Structure formats: C-alpha cells, structure tokens
Amino acid sequence: MVKSRVEVLHRNLGPSSIWNQSGEVPRLSPDRTHHLIATLGCEFDGGGSFAPGDGEAWSLFKVALDLYPRVLLLNTDLLEVQAITAMAVFCLNLSGTQIQGKIISEAARVAQRAFLNKASTSSDAIIRSRAFWVVYYIEKTVTFHHGTTSFIVDCDIGSPIPIVQEAVFGDFDWFLTSVRFARLYSRTFTDLFSISATNNSKTAYLAKINQLERLLEQQCRTIPPQFQPGTKLRPQTFSHPCEIAAALRVHYHYHELKIALHRLKLHVTRDQSSSQSPSDMIDMMKSARAVIDLTRVIYQEPSTPFFVMIFMPLTALFILFDLVIHYPAHPDARSNIVLLESVTGYFSALEYATSGYLPGSMLIQFASIARAFHSSSHPAQVEDINNGNSGMGTTLGHPSPETLNTDILDCLTIRSPTSRLTPGLEIMDLFGGPLPGVDFFSASN
C-alpha cells in the first residue's frame, strides 16, 4: 500500500532536493509534504535504521522535525494534518518510539482542529476523510498500547469511512477493518480501562467484558478466511507482501484485545478463585502461543512497526513464562517452553539485525529459567490450570517462583483494589525514556 508508492517518491525526491539553493529550510508547502512521504519511502527502500538519528531516512526526518514547530504555528488545514500524519507513521517503528507519543497526539489534535472529523462537501472531501481515519487508527491503537487517554472523541465524528482501493485485497477491505479494530480499542478503553470505569461493580465489569468479547468475535467472523484471526497464517497464499503485513496486523490486533479482556476478567475475579473460569487462562495462553507462532512471518526491518516486531512478541513471552512457572504440570507446559525458546531466539536474531541496538539475547534467560523450573517441579504436587483453580501450586522442597524473582503475574494483575489496570503490559517504559547523546534535530536550520 504505502510501500510501493513511497519508494517511487523517494527515488524522485532525494536528499539533495530537501534544501533550497540558499541552504535554508523553506516553510511548509506541498513539496514539503512530498518530502515527508519520501522519508517513508527511504525507510522502505533500504535507508532506514533501527537506532534513532541514524541512516538516510532519519537525515530526511530531522528536516521534518525542524519544520514541526512551524507547522504548529500555521493555520491548521489539510496540508498540515498530512505533514504531521506522515511524521506519525514514521514514528511507529522502533527508532521513533522516543517521540511517538508527542507526534501522534499532535496529529490527533490538528486533525480535529482542521475539522477533518466533520462531514465535508468540498472537492477534497475524500482526501480529508482518508487523512482523518488514518490518524484515528494510529492514535486509537497507540494510546491503547500505552494505556493513555485518546484525544479523539468518538461521539463527535461525522466523517464517512472512504474506500481506499490500495487497501482492498480481493474481498478484504483492510482500511475498513483497521478502523473497526480502532473503534473496538476505543470502546474497550472507555468501558473497561478508563478512570470512570473503576466505578463499575464486578457484575458490570463482567457484563461489559462479555459484550466486548462478542463484538470482537463478530468482527472476526466478517473477515475473509485467508486473513481471519484464529486460523493458520500461510504466507504462501498471499500474492503481495502488503497482504501479509495487513494479515499480521489483523491477527495481532485481535489477540491483543483478547489478552486484554481475559487479563481484566482474571483481575476482576481474583478474590474468588472458584468464580475464575479456567477457559480464560487457557484462551489467554492460546493467544500468546498464536502471537509467538506468527513471529515466523515478521520482517525484521527498520520499517516494521514496533507493535508488530517487539510489543506483541514480548507480551506473549511474559504471559507464557508466567504460565509455565505457575502451572508446570499443565499438558501444554512443554510446548510452551519450546515456544519460549522460539521467541527468545527471535529476539536474539533481532539483536543481530539491529547490530546490538536492541539487546534481545538477554531474554534467553526466561526460557532457561522456565525449563529449569519445569524440570525441577514434581507434576503430581503441582496444581493444574484445568482444575478450575487459578491459585499457584508449587512443590515442597523446590524453589518457588517468588524465590526465582520471576513473578511476572504482578505485571499482569494489580493487587490493590483501588488500582487502575492498564490495557497492555507495562513494557513501554523500556523504550520510552530519552536516549543520551541522540540529537533528533538536524545540525543546520
């Protein structure tokens, strides 16, 4: 979709065309927006980097960042929204995580300030609606990952969802599907994870969770079998890499929402172990296993979104590790350990691909600890997840998960009754801090 077009733009708009003859960066114009698209094209065309500030794509993006304050001062119109949206798309990768939140929140703000959320009868109505819904999808999904409040108010949207032919693969409309998932993210956060949701009773929580689970499954059934989550993703059945990328995102969005709903249900019923359904823990395990299985089709490239390449595989790793430690007698414990070794191998390969920027090989210790604990546990004395009791059972005389300091469940649940459970695992703190010595802006203005 984006890749095929931005590569052409990059070849026609190289770095030498960014500055004018006087060496000054000009004010925002249609050409500047094309140069922002060229930044994306450069990243897809081999000029990207996993580390912020490195590579040809970042040299172009630094110019865009220099223009960023000027964009905020200009009269907000479609062109300014498109410029910041292009910046937001670029920040979805690993190298952009440091400034991702600021750029995306600003994109949501200017889109509404330009009234792109309203219905329009102008000649550029379709372009305006496309820009708005791209911002909507990015902002709703990213704020859910971070556990933060969205800037876009769903009840104040009148812009129709356009048909984007580049995002239609046969009978599958990826653009429409992505917006539907974004809407589910928004509803899930508002109904279950917002501060006002903490006033819900346990009965109200469980009713809302069940309702959102039904909506998620209904949406899943509308997706063609080739792209449908819950089925085996077979890359050889797709004719273009864009189709694989769309299918991967569909699967990961589905499983992230499934995991979030099951986690919350376990959290709400944590004081009454008899009311906890073993199917919730098993379904969460199945989603984590599916996420790890899908790592075989992930391209470890600078242009791959952080959500796909790191966030979901790391979330699944923590979940399976916790389940192996707490339920080593479960029939799937051995295969879960194999999957843990598989995903830690994936992160080791990612460390190699990033030239050591992301130290993924340290995660190998999770698989080693899980295998060692599983081998030292006596199956007859460890409670099984299938018995309906979600309490933790350990073997006397052997080290418990507490002594190994591996109780990742504390990341999955919050013990204080007044605490607010956030949608995703708190792994973003590993990537959200500033990097010393990194200059995000170009040396010359």
CB 266, CB 276: distance < 8 Å: yes
pLDDT (0 to 100) of residue 397? 35
Predicted local distance difference test score (pLDDT) of residue 433: 47
**Which token pair is 426?**
């708190």
Q: What is the pLDDT of residue 25?
A: 37
Mean pLDDT by 10 residues, the chain (445 residues): 42 36 46 72 86 88 79 76 90 91 93 93 93 97 92 95 94 96 96 90 93 96 94 90 94 96 89 67 94 96 95 95 90 93 96 94 93 75 49 36 39 41 53 50 46
Q: Judge contact between 413 and 284, C-beta under 8 A.
A: no
Looking at residue 308, what is its pLDDT? 96
Rounded to 5°, angle at Cα 330 from 325 and 333: 60
User: What value does the CA radius of gyration of the chain take, rounded to a whole number of Å?
Assistant: 23
Q: Residue 172 phi/psi, 5° resolution? A: -110, 120
Q: Rounded distance, CA 80 to CA 68, Å?
A: 10
Sort residue 304 into left (φ over 0), alpha (ψ -120 to 50) or beta. Answer: beta
Using DSSP bridges, classify how beta strands 172-173 and 168-169 pair: parallel, antiparallel or unpaired: antiparallel
